[in-house]
Every structure is written in structure tokens, then in C-alpha cells.
């Protein structure tokens, strides 16, 4: 029997599907973090997560959850690190959203106070490293339990990211700009958002990269705690490089009468995956999770949700849309799970996909699991091509065929945004989608 | 003449079933022609072939529109040249506002006619004027194209588009017998307001009641893919009294 101190990991055990070089580099990173950070509970989380990753490995296409999302290219990464690149503040200004907001900047995952705005009143920020003991304990106890390997990777590299606490109604949106330079082939950020009872936050999660960025994995996890009666609005613009990989988890725990609304706009990444896992823990909580993705070239775009209706009288609404062009692939996977006792659950999940390219493809898997008897749940998924009647109607009014396509496709994609109350935010996301459509 | 149709044959694309079997029709500027006929006679097909719907394939014949070969033109080019199809069922386009849709259409048509594009405020002023004329609520401009509109509102919206695009020839596909009387009045009113002695109309309909409001100059009976009888407005009245039975007996194969 071997024993190891809290600060060391076993470098010799492989991680399924990763190269030895990549495993070793990961182990070196985990060790370096644990050497620099003497807090034993944090060391224990990293070590436990790394060990769990060694036991679990990364999935293949045989794994049901990864059937349609190829990881081969992602897992070929060696997690190299290159010389740091300087980032010009003016470049960051170009991707600033056109509405009043407080922006926090993360370059290759590292928070940059000097490039960031002052926080609005009611918001406080601390490094994720300083997360409380109870949370560390919770992480450590659940590393072995059904955690996704990319989530485990995030815990093994627990270091960068922030805890953002909200203790009053905050009107000014907080933007988290994640900017990738390519200096690091593995960016791992973990944020926590804690919204106190009766308060409100709009969080804009933005992912961008330098023009000529090399291949990298952007692994981002956000955990949000939405207390009684709190409102959490989340807007995500994912515009990572077309060669990069984007793996994201958004865990949201909702208490009584809380409200969570999310919109995800997917544009970037050779392979991208955005997973929203919502736990409706308190009664009368509302969730509204929508997305729109535009996949072109050979992109693989995966949007998935897991909605746990764990409590009675909760409502969930979802509209997910994907436009897939060229030989790109779209994946939608959505699960509504209704626990015994979650009576009067009202869950609706709709997925619509538009295939533009002759080789474009979408795999959709909407699912319901219901263990309560007095619920109203439905799901639907439809994949089709541009409606020839709509196209002809526009052309019969003198509108050019290509412009008609653009009008109809843009409308299809932006429909899920109509629920976004803020017109400037809506316009910003619409513009991002239209820019890519007009490519 | 504005439109000349000669020996037009057409079938459903990729099906070997001929629907139009040799139509001849001449329309001069300012004339209103009605095309009537029993269900399945090819009326709606004729209207859609004129507009260039790709579901149909023209196998024989010619159509000259304003001196040009219509069959060589894309649907959008036909619209720009001044041909307008009022749809039997105007199509819903969720997410595209009436304003953006029509602004795009109007400027495409203006460009083809060598006119400078309208700025948004000029467009809005013109739209407001036409909407007032057609008794439309101003907020209709902001709504998605035909989404959630009643049958009458959809028809009114089509008439509004027609008024904005100022076609030389409007083809009204009103084949369906299910249109309520209000929707028919909207169509008739739209046509009558735009009659100016130069603009021509082809009104395709199953029933005479629409023609009571429009009073066409010529009435043609289409049966089994051919125009089998032509006359003045009195022909429509005769058909209303006697029905299509005589025609069917006389011309069935």
C-alpha cells in the first residue's frame, strides 16, 4: 500500500485517452499548485480530482453522453505552455459590449485587475482559491460521483477564477471577459456566483480569443447559488477561435421562488460543448434557459441541459436552436428530470434545428424522466431545412434569394432571444450571430 | 400589351402530370381579368407559374411580360419588373418584422427601377400613409410577417405590400372558397384603390362574390388546364346562377 502526502500526485497512472506527455504536464501543474498553496483542504480537492480523473479517464464515442461529440482532437492536446503574449487594452475594447457594464478581464484564465472595471455596489469578488471550507469539503466529497471529466479537470487545476457575491439588487451587468492568447493550451477557470436572497444579478459570460490563436482547450465551469427570491440573469457569448475547443459547465442551484434566465450564443470552437445543469431545489422556482448556435465549416457544436425538478411547483422553459451549415454538426441533448414529490412541475423544452448545408447534421436527444404523477412536461425537437414557402414569399416581393435566406435564418436564430428584456443585449448577440452568418 | 401568355403548359415539378394544357391570355395595361373555374382546374397553378414558383415546371409555351421573357426570370426579378402575386395564404415568417421585410423589398424593387433607395424615415412615412389608406393599425409594421394575424389581417398585409411595391400587374390568387366575406372585401378594396387605368389585375377566384366588388373587364373560365370560355362580367353572373355543371359536361374529356 502506498501513501502519498496531500501535495503529491501519482504521475505514473495514465488518464484514459490522454497522451503520457499530457498526463505528466497535468500532474506537474497540479503539483505546482499544491506546492504554492499550503491550504490542505484545497490540496486535497486537487489531488482527489486528479486521482478521480485517472480512474475515470476521458470518454470515447462509446460513452452515451459523448456519442455525437468527438473528443479525439481535444485529447490530442499536449497542454503545452508558450511564452506569454502581451495584450493590448485597445483590442479588448473592441469586444466590449455596447451597453453599460462592469467588466472583469481574464487573460488565459488569469484575472487582470488593472484591465478590469470597478465593481458596482452590491457585488464583491474574491479569488476562487479563497472559497470557504464547506465548499471545498463539498467538492472533495463529490469528486468520485458522476462528475464529468472536464469538471474534474477544473477541480484538479483549482486556482483561477473568482467567487462573485451579490448582496443587493444590482442593475449594472457584470461582464466576465475571457480572452485567450494561445500562450497556454489549457485554460481552466472556475467561477462561483452567489446571489443572496431577494437580490439580482445579470452576468455576461464572454469568451473571445486573439485572431491567430493556436489550438487550445478552454475549460470553464461556473457554479451559481441562487438564494430564495433571487434573480440570476446569465448571458453567454462564446466566440472562441474556430480551431479551439470550448468545454463549459454551468451549474445552477435555485432556491425557493428564485428566478434563473440564461441565453447562450454559440459561435466559436472547432468542438464546443455548453452544459447547463439546473437544480430546482426550492418550491416555485422558475428557470428559463435558451440558446442559439451557428455551426459552419466542420464545427461540432453541442448544447445540453439537465433540469432537475427536485421540488414542487417549479417551472422550466427552454428553447434551443441550432443552425448548421457546410459539413458542421450540431448536438442537442436535454433532460428534464422530475423527482418524486415534485408535483405541479411545469416543464417545457423545445429544440429546433435548421440545416443549411447538404452535409450538415444534427443529433438531438430530448428526454423526460418523470417520477411524480401530477406534472405537466413536454419536449419537442424538429430538424429541417429552410422553409421553401417562406423563401418564395420573400422572393415574390423582390427580395434577393441570398438576402431572403439571411433574413429567415437570422430570424430563426434570434427568436429565442426575444425573451431578453434588455434591447441592447439582444442587439449585441444578434449582431454577433449576423456577423458570422454574413461571414 | 402588358402580358401575353401563349400556349402555356405546366406540370408539378418532377411529376409527369400536366396541369396547364395550353393557356392563351392577353392582358393590356389597366385591364382587370377574372379567372374562374371549378376546383382543380389549374387556376392557382396558373397564378403561381406567373410568379415563378419552383414547384411547377413549364413544359411548353411563352409568357411575355412588359416586353421581356418572363419564364427566363427568377421570382425576385419578376417582382422587380412589376409583377405581384397576392398569396392565397400569405406566409408567416417568425422573427422577421414587417418593417424589415418590406423595407428590404421596396428598396430591392426601387433599385431595379433605377430609383434611389428610401431611407428608413422616408420608408416609414410612406408606409404610414399606405397603412392609413388600408385602415391598418400602425403597430402591424413592427410585428413579425403575418405571425398571429387573422385571415383578414394577412390579406390586408398582402394588399399593403402591393400598395408599397406599386406593381404593373397584380395577380390575386383567391382560389380558396374558405375565405370569409371580410377577407374578400379587404382584397376587393385593395384592388379597387389601386386601379388607376394603368395597373392591370388578374383575379383568380372560385366564386363570383369577390367579383361583385371588383367588377372585372373580362371573365375567363379555366377548366381542365385550358381557358374554355371568355366573356364580360355577365359570364361571372351566369356561372353564379348555373354553376360549373354545363362547362364540365361540355368540356370534360
For the segment B23-71, what is each residue's pLDDT rounded down to a tens digit? 999 999 999 999 999 888 999 999 999 999 999 999 999 999 999 999 9
CA A368 – CA A353 distance, rounded (Å): 19
Q: Is the pLDDT of residue A103 over 50?
A: yes
**pLDDT (tens digit per residue) in B86-128:** 999 999 999 899 999 999 999 999 999 999 999 999 999 999 9
Taking an 8 Å cut-off on Cβ atoms, the answer to whether B144 and A399 are in contact is no
B42 touches chain A (CB under 8 A): no
Which residues in chain B are contacts of A414 at CB distance < 8 A?
95
CA atoms of B97 and B141, how far apart (whole Å): 7
Contact assignment for A395 to B85 by CB distance below 8 Å: no
**Is the model's pLDDT at A1 over the cut of 60?**
no
Q: Is B161 in Cβ contact with A399 (below 8 Å)?
A: no
Taking CB atoms and an 8 Å limit, are A395 and B74 in contact across chains? yes
Cα–Cα nearest to A190, from A57, A45, A5, A16: A45
Round to whole Å and give the CA distance between A319 and A327. 24
When the pLDDT of each residue in chain A is averaged and rounded to a whole number, the result is 94
pLDDT at A400 over 60: yes
Cβ pair B34, B89 in contact under 8 A: no
| DSSP three-state, residue A25 | helix
Across chain B, what does the average pLDDT equal?
A: 93
With 70 as the cut, is the pLDDT of residue A4 above it? no
Residue matched to cell numbers 439546473: A278
Check CB contact of A371 with chain B, cutoff 8 Å.
no
Q: Say whether pLDDT at A75 is over 70.
A: yes
Which among B52, B76, B93 is the nearest to A408, CB-wise?
Answer: B93
Nearest by CB to residue B96, choosing from A392, A395, A407, is A407
Residue that is written with C-alpha cell 497522451 in the block: A19
Query: Are B54 and A403 within 8 A, CB to CB?
Result: no
What burial class does residue B115 get, using C-beta atoms within 10 Å of its C-beta: 0-12 exposed, 13-18 middle, 19+ buried? exposed
- pLDDT for A2 equals 39
Verdict on whether the full-model pTM lies above 0.90: no
CA distance to A13, A301, A419, per residue, from A365 (Å): 35, 14, 24
How much is the average pLDDT of A356-365?
A: 96
Residues of A in contact with B91 (CB under 8 A): 387, 389-390, 392-393
Say what percent of chain A tops pLDDT 70.
98
Q: What ipTM is given for this predicted complex?
A: 0.96
Quick one: average pLDDT of A278-302? Answer: 97
Nearest CA in chain B to A413: B95
Chain B residues touching A392 at Cβ < 8 A: 53-54, 75, 91
**Does residue B188 sit at the A interface (CB-CB below 8 Å)?**
no
CA atoms within 13 A on the CB side of B100: 16
Give the separation between CA A427 and CA B128, rounded to whole angstroms: 25
Interface contact A396, partner B, CB < 8 A: yes
Q: Does A411 touch chain B (CB under 8 A)?
A: yes
Residue contact B54–A392, C-beta within 8 A? yes
Q: Say if residue B223's pLDDT is above 80.
A: yes
**C-alpha dihedral over A23, A28, A31, A37, to 10 degrees?**
-120
Least confident among A84-93, A342-351, A410-419, B201-210: A410-419
pLDDT at A76 over 60: yes
With contact defined as beta carbons under 8 Å apart, do A405 and A434 qualify? no
Is residue A395 within 8 angstroms of chain B, CB to CB?
yes
For the segment A307-338, what is each residue's pLDDT rounded down to a tens digit?
Answer: 999 999 999 999 999 999 999 999 999 999 99
Mean pLDDT of B144-164: 93
- Nearest residue to B226 (alpha-carbon basis) of B207, B250, B203, B200: B250
Question: In Å, how far is B76's CA from the nearest CA of chain A?
Answer: 4
**How close B168 gets to chain A, by Cα (Å)?**
13
Provide CB contacts within 8 A for B252, sequence distance 6+: B224
The answer to whether residue A6 scores a pLDDT higher than 60 is: no
pLDDT at A420: 78
Q: For residue A422, name the pLDDT band (cuts at 50, 70, 90).
A: confident
Residue of A248, A236, A250, A246 lying closest to A271 (CA atoms): A246
Report which of A184, A187, A242 is spatially closest to residue A212, judged by C-alpha positions: A242
Rounded to a whole number of angstroms, the distance from the CA of B21 to the nearest CA of chain A is: 24
B62: closest CA of chain A, how far (Å) = 20
Q: What is the pLDDT of residues B172-207, one digit of tens each?
A: 998 766 677 888 888 899 899 999 999 999 999 987
Report the candidate in B97, B88, B181 with the shortest Cα–Cα distance to residue B146.
Answer: B97
Query: Do residues B140 and B131 lie in contact, with contact meaning Cβ atoms separated by under 8 Å?
Result: yes
- CA of B85, closest CA in chain A: separation in Å? 7
Per-residue DSSP letter, A397: T
Q: Which of A6-20, A135-149, A327-341, B116-130 has the lowest mean pLDDT?
A: A6-20
Question: Given this model, what pLDDT does residue A297 score?
Answer: 96
Sign for the CA dihedral angle at B238, B241, B243, B247 comes to negative
Q: Which of residues 59-88 of A touch B (CB under 8 A)?
A: none
Q: What percent of chain A has pLDDT over 90?
A: 90
B14: left (phi over 0), alpha (psi -120 to 50) or beta: left
Contact B213, B185 (CB under 8 A): yes
| A150 HSE (CA, 13 A, CB side) | 26
Considering only the beta carbons, identify the residue of A398, A415, A418 that sits closest to B79. Answer: A398
* Rounded Cα gap, residues B210 and B73, in angstroms: 31
Q: Please state which of the ranges A158-162, A271-275, B181-185 shows the lowest mean pLDDT.
A: B181-185
Phi-psi region of A304 (alpha: psi -120 to 50; beta: other; left: phi over 0): beta
Amino acid at each position: 500500500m502506498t501513501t502519498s502526502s496531500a501535495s503529491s500526485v501519482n504521475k505514473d497512472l495514465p488518464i484514459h485517452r490522454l497522451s503520457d506527455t499530457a498526463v505528466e504536464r497535468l500532474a506537474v501543474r497540479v503539483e505546482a499548485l499544491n506546492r504554492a498553496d499550503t491550504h490542505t483542504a484545497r490540496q486535497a480537492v486537487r489531488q482527489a480530482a486528479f486521482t478521480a480523473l485517472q480512474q475515470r479517464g476521458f470518454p470515447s464515442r462509446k460513452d452515451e453522453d459523448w456519442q455525437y461529440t468527438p473528443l479525439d482532437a481535444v485529447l490530442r492536446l499536449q497542454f503545452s505552455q508558450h511564452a506569454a503574449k502581451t495584450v493590448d487594452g485597445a483590442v479588448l475594447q473592441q469586444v466590449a459590449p455596447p451597453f453599460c457594464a462592469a467588466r472583469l478581464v481574464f487573460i488565459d484564465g488569469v484575472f487582470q485587475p488593472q484591465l478590469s472595471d470597478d465593481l458596482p455596489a452590491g457585488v464583491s469578488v474574491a479569488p476562487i482559491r479563497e472559497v470557504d471550507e464547506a465548499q471545498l469539503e463539498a467538492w472533495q466529497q463529490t469528486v468520485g460521483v458522476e462528475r464529468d471529466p472536464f469538471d474534474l479537470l477544473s477541480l484538479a487545476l483549482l486556482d483561477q477564477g473568482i467567487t462573485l457575491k451579490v448582496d443587493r439588487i444590482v442593475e449594472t451587468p457584470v461582464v466576465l471577459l475571457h480572452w485567450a492568447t494561445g500562450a497556454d493550451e489549457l485554460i481552466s477557470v472556475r467561477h462561483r456566483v452567489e446571489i443572496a436572497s431577494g437580490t439580482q444579478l445579470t452576468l455576461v459570460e464572454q469568451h473571445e480569443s486573439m485572431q491567430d490563436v493556436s489550438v487550445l482547450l478552454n475549460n470553464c465551469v461556473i457554479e451559481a447559488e441562487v438564494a430564495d427570491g433571487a434573480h440570476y440573469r446569465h448571458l453567454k457569448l462564446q466566440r472562441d477561435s474556430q480551431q479551439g475547443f470550448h468545454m463549459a459547465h454551468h451549474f445552477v442551484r435555485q432556491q425557493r421562488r428564485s428566478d434563473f434566465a440564461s441565453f447562450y450564443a454559440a459561435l466559436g470552437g472547432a468542438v464546443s460543448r455548453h452544459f447547463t445543469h439546473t437544480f430546482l431545489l426550492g418550491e416555485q422556482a422558475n428557470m428559463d434557459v435558451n440558446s442559439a448556435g451557428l455551426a459552419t465549416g466542420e464545427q461540432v457544436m453541442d448544447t445540453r441541459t439537465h433540469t432537475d425538478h427536485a421540488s414542487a411547483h417549479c417551472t422550466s422553459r427552454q428553447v434551443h436552436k441550432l443552425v448548421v451549415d457546410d459539413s458542421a454538426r450540431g448536438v442537442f441533448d436535454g433532460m428534464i428530470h422530475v423527482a418524486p414529490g415534485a408535483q405541479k412541475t411545469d416543464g417545457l423544452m423545445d429544440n429546433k434545428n435548421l440545416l443549411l448545408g447538404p452535409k450538415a447534421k444534427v443529433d438531438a436527444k430530448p428526454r423526460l424522466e418523470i417520477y411524480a404523477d401530477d406534472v405537466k412536461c413536454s419536449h419537442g425537437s424538429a430538424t429541417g431545412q429552410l422553409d421553401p414557402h417562406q423563401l418564395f414569399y420573400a422572393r415574390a416581393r423582390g427580395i434577393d434569394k441570398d438576402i431572403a435566406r439571411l433574413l429567415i435564418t437570422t430570424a430563426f436564430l434570434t427568436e429565442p432571444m426575444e425573451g431578453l428584456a434588455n434591447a441592447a443585449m439582444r442587439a449585441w448577440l444578434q449582431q454577433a450571430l449576423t456577423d458570422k452568418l454574413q461571414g | 400589351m402588358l402580358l401575353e401568355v401563349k400556349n402555356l403548359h405546366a406540370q408539378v415539378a418532377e411529376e409527369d402530370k400536366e396541369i396547364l394544357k395550353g393557356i392563351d391570355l392577353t392582358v393590356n395595361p389597366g385591364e382587370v381579368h377574372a379567372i374562374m373555374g371549378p376546383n382543380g382546374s389549374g387556376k392557382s397553378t396558373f397564378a403561381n407559374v406567373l410568379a415563378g414558383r419552383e414547384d411547377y415546371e413549364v413544359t411548353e409555351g411563352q409568357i411575355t411580360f412588359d416586353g421581356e421573357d418572363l419564364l427566363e426570370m427568377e421570382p425576385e426579378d419578376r417582382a422587380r419588373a412589376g409583377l405581384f402575386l397576392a398569396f392565397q395564404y400569405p406566409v408567416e415568417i417568425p422573427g422577421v418584422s414587417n418593417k424589415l421585410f418590406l423595407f428590404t423589398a421596396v428598396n430591392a424593387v426601387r433599385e431595379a427601377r433605377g430609383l434611389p433607395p428610401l431611407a428608413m424615415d422616408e420608408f416609414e412615412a410612406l408606409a404610414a400613409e399606405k397603412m392609413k389608406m388600408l385602415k391598418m393599425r400602425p403597430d402591424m409594421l413592427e410585428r413579425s410577417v403575418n405571425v398571429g394575424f387573422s385571415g383578414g389581417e394577412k390579406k390586408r398585409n398582402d394588399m399593403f405590400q402591393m400598395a408599397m411595391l406599386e406593381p404593373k400587374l397584380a395577380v390575386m390568387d383567391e382560389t380558396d372558397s374558405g375565405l370569409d366575406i371580410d377577407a374578400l372585401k379587404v382584397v376587393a378594396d385593395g384592388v379597387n384603390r389601386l386601379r388607376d387605368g394603368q395597373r392591370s389585375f388578374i383575379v383568380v377566384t372560385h366564386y363570383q362574390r369577390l367579383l361583385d366588388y371588383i367588377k372585372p373587364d373580362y371573365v375567363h373560365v379555366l377548366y381542365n388546364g385550358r381557358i374554355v370560355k371568355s366573356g364580360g362580367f355577365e359570364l361571372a353572373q351566369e356561372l353564379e346562377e348555373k354553376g360549373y355543371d354545363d362547362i364540365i359536361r361540355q368540356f370534360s374529356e
